[in-house]
Amino acid sequence: MDAGAARRPAIHGRWLTDGAVCDISFDALVENLGLAAALAVVDAAAAYRRESVEWEMACSIQHQAPQRIARWVSRMVDASGVVAINQAELAALAGIQRTSVSAAMMRFRAAGVKVLRGRIIASDIAALQQTACACGPHAA
């Protein structure tokens, strides 16, 4: 661990998809890549995040909660149709109240969506995707 890592706060969160995180000090990034490349990495990450936030805000204005929830669930679902998330966490992701998630899930039952403790099971992902909005700068 580099000396700067001891001063940085720990990264906390709940992983919703497979992925990786790299915790490296800016000084170490500069040492390994050079100043120009390190600044480019930081700038690209900031631009990506800004674009994502802008799209999320636009989606919140344009689409109702069920469409946004269907988008989140259909993007997180794995090949078995399971998303390891509870309704409160999904509400936080979508920027809505938990009661709105619950109401949407009741509507999704016709599309084969089941809500269990701490997970959502979507047996017909294609039907869920038809309900979902296609928002996002990085939409599939």
pLDDT at 140 over 50: no
CA distance 67 to 48: 23
Query: pLDDT digits over 73-94, tens only?
Result: 888 887 788 888 888 998 988 8
CA-based R_g, the chain, Å: 18
pLDDT at 5: 52
If we measure between CA atoms, which residue out of 133, 138, 140, 137 comes closest to residue 61?
133
Please report the pLDDT score of residue 37 as a whole number.
94
Task: Report how many helices (DSSP H) and strands (DSSP E) the chain contains, helices first.
Answer: 6, 3
As a 3-state breakdown, the chain gives helix, strand, coil percent values, each rounded to 5, of 60, 5, 35
Q: Could you write out the DSSP letters of every residue in 118-140? A: TEEEES-HHHHHHHS---STT--
Amino acid symbol at 117: R
Decide if 85 contacts 118 (C-beta within 8 A): yes
Give pLDDT tens digits for 90-124: 898 888 899 999 999 888 887 788 888 888 898 88
Average pLDDT over the chain, rounded to whole?
A: 82
Q: Look-up: residue for tokens 């919703």?
A: 16
